[in-house]
Amino acid sequence: MSLDAMTRTRTETDSLGSMQIPVDAYWGIHTARALENFPISKRPISVYRDLVRALAMVKQASARANKEIGVLDAEKADLIDRAAQLVIDDQYHDQFVVGVIQGGAGTSTNMNANEVITNIALELAGREKGDYDFLSPIDDTNRSQSTNDVYPTAVKIGLSLDLQTLLEELDLLRRAFLAKAVEFHDVLKVGRTQLQDAVPMTLGQEFNGFATTLGEDYNRLLENRYLLFEVNMGATAIGTGITTHPDYSNAVLRHLREITGLDLELATDLVESTSDTGAFMSFSSSLKRNAIKLSKICNDLRLLSSGPQAGLGEINLPARQAGSSIMPGKVNPVIPEVVNQVAFAVAGSDLTVTMAVEGGQLQLNAFEPVIAHSIFQSITWMRRAMHTLRVNCVEGITPNRERLGAMVGSSVGVITALTPFIGYAAAAALAKTALLTGRNVADLVVEAGLMSREEVTKQLSPARLSGLEAITAAIPVVGADAVSEKPSAPDLDDV
């Protein structure tokens, strides 16, 4: 907007009085009051593209329904329809300026949409902005509607649209982990439980587990998405449908389904649906689940890459930035770390949603703006976090094969694979010896005469250690007394 346009104004009037509005602004007096009243977040609703598009979809569907049932002049309805389509097509989003956090249960957002779409329509008709005698934001663009059905419906549609982009990124991340699982399918390592050495597995199995858990979250998010498909259009103020035509609800639902491509359905009890925000809580919870599980994966990546000399050092994460202003050469796992922080924020947002849902009173929940902001922010941050994790971390992970091989070779955990052949007591005795002397378990088993080198090598193959290949033939189990329970003291030269 030019400086000249900002200094030139038009006068608009509401029930509280008159205000001067910048002449080039598509928003009007109701938006101007919101800008004065709610300088809280300093983030306009336009930061959430799909929310703005969803608002326009609701206005477009309402215009078509009102025209169809004969409560709005066809010329006016068509102008509103055309103006809304421009917003759906990502134009004029900079005019959606009210803050994401606001009082009034979303009234400021609804009026911002009414004013912008009306003034776009006025221009399409060759009229001046603010010529509300010809086309009114309230009497025409908001016909048959209330904030209390428009706002929650738009939020649900916007979240459904926004979720699709998150699901696409989630699936790309799952596929990235799956590709690494295939790449690392033959890399043996020591599995761990309670941070202690357990039994062998492959690095591929570990990464396949990451892919599987993300796939499960994909399905949970899809399931909870359907909770958002129940809308309350036609409820108006509290669900009684006051000021609406009896045919409006079904007409607007039909048009909304066509415009959005979503399987929306009308709530069976509009009074209950207008006051209940439980769907948002369930949906937010599924986002939190995904975020927390993703954070756990990032914890594992940080542990596996720790070191590189004094930690586990099993894998290498791509070096993304110098890690210290004082320690030369230090590289930190900054990508998993930022994803961890996003998960913490999503968990906090979920608590905000929970408290806001609980805080509703009687026939309306006044706190839907913070619910909407919290969930939209969670989706946005998670989508971006998944993208940077995939592109800047997962796709570039490499294994430290020699280190992993050495740890498997010296791990007493591998003897677990031999217990079906030498017995638990003999295996325990040899495990103690291996721990005391640091010697290779396989060598100790062969030296004790419990199994031949060929048999040991076969049973300790990567496929059998990782469980990918089943044991097909059993060797007679050696008696428990074959190996002394108390290993001899190690030679000091061997320690």
Residues 433-457: tens digit of each pLDDT: 888 888 888 888 899 898 889 888 8
Q: Give pLDDT, residue 72.
A: 97
Tokens standing for residue 259 = 């415009």
Percentage of the chain surpassing pLDDT 90? 72
Whether residues 318 and 457 share a domain: the answer is no
486 occurs within a structural domain = no
Whether the predicted pLDDT of 239 surpasses 70: yes
CA of residue 385 relative to chain centroid, distance: 9
Q: Which residues pair with 129 in a beta bridge?
A: none
User: Which candidate in 324, 411, 461, 466 is catalytic?
Assistant: 324
Whether residues 382 and 438 share a domain: the answer is no
Q: Give pLDDT, residue 5.
A: 52
Q: Give pLDDT, residue 490.
A: 37
251 occurs within a structural domain = yes
Whether residues 327 and 191 share a domain: the answer is yes
CATH of the domain at 430: 1.10.40.30
474 occurs within a structural domain = no
190 occurs within a structural domain = yes
Whether the predicted pLDDT of 473 surpasses 70: no
360 occurs within a structural domain = yes
In the chain, the number of structural domains is 3
Whether residues 67 and 30 share a domain: the answer is yes
Whether residues 158 and 104 share a domain: the answer is no
98 occurs within a structural domain = yes
> CB–CB of 193/200 below 8 Å?
no
CATH of the domain at 25: 1.10.275.10
Rounded to two decimals, what is the model's pTM?
A: 0.87
Domain enclosing residue 368, as ranges: 149-402
Q: Give pLDDT, residue 492.
A: 34
Mean pLDDT of the chain: 90
477 occurs within a structural domain = no
Residue 141 banded pLDDT, cuts 50, 70, 90: very high
> CB–CB of 356/370 below 8 Å?
yes
pLDDT tens digit sequence for 296-305:
999 999 999 9
Match 């040899």 to its residue by tokens.
430
Alpha-carbon dihedral sign for residues 90, 92, 98, 99: positive
CATH of the domain at 298: 1.20.200.10
Whether residues 332 and 386 share a domain: the answer is yes
Whether the predicted pLDDT of 85 surpasses 50: yes
Whether residues 72 and 216 share a domain: the answer is no
Residue 472 banded pLDDT, cuts 50, 70, 90: very low
188, containing H or E segment: strand 188-193
Whether residues 134 and 199 share a domain: the answer is no
Q: Rounded to an integer, what distance in angstroms lies between the CA atom of residue 337 and that of residue 301? A: 10
Whether residues 396 and 421 share a domain: the answer is no
> CB–CB of 124/82 below 8 Å?
yes
Q: Is 104 helix (H, G, I), strand (E, B) or coil?
A: coil
466 classed as catalytic: no
289 occurs within a structural domain = yes
Q: Supply the DSSP string of 110-126, one letter for each residue.
A: HHHHHHHHHHHHHHHTT
Whether the predicted pLDDT of 326 surpasses 90: no
Tokens standing for residue 455 = 């048999």
